[in-house]
Structure 1
Amino acid sequence: MKPLLTWLLLVLMTPMALAQSDGEPAGGQDMYPLETPDQQEQFQQLLNELRCPKCQNQNIADSDAPIAEDMRNEVYRMVKEGADEQTVVDAMIERFGEFVHYKPAFDARTALLWLLPAIVVAIGLIVIVLIVRRSGRQGAESGPGLTDEERRQADDLLRRDS
């Protein structure tokens, strides 16, 4: 009886759950109508390029946070007024900080962020080269250095076997 009730509940609840979600992301086209396809494309690109300050690593198109909604509305207003992409990004950075942009600009504050991966790789390569050289040098120095007596004994053994 319990499985039948569970199945019945599932069958009755599924259509209601599907009716509630329209499948559109938070920055859907119906909510933000624009005049030209270029504006619509620019708007969608900006929604995906700007990060929600409240949500960790979620863009404003996917975020349901109130601050993301405010950002979407502001981006929509600016795009509708004809602002270019860089102007919108600069306005959002000025208002919310560098964190909202997924691609921070290269300047004195972000130089380490951009250069750190290359620095780590270079240091790793230098360490590997030094280790390989040192092991090669140690191998040559501690190689099969036989004394004269050991060498003579080895030669005697080889002659005897042949």
Structure 2
Amino acid sequence: MVYLGLELLLVTKNAYKQQMIVSFDLAVESFGEIGLPDSINDNSNGNGLGAYGGKLCVTSFNGYDDYEVWVMNEYGVADAWVKLYVFSDSSGYLDPYGFTSNNMLLFRTILNDHIDFDDLGVGKFESFMIRDGGGPDEIKIVRYVDSLVWVAPAKHGVR
């Protein structure tokens, strides 16, 4: 699930097996649907939802060797999807997580337990070893969002 502005978003399928993004507008408490590009509905075996440069983004695995990165240039307009980037995974061992605030693709290389950052075609690539006695399924990456809300520490002895 992705939080973008005042909406919560999630990718799902409708009764016709078409994939779409279901949105929930927090301001007016209503649901909406956002269509995905046709090639995602025709060929996709898995999608990741996120944000790229402040815009809605979908990372889609086509079921063969390629991941596609799609960005919606105008929010809520189905025809505004643009294929930003395609990267190949002939090994079958890449697991994309999303994008950093600097628009670098963050993914895990399952075969060698690395977290990798790729600047999508610019040639900047960084890789970090993450294995520390645990298996690859124990890795959890969460998005950090600054907040002005103070969370008070728990008082000892109080439940």
Greater per-residue helix proportion: 1
Bin the TM-score by the shorter chain.
Answer: under 0.3
TM-score by length of 2: 0.27
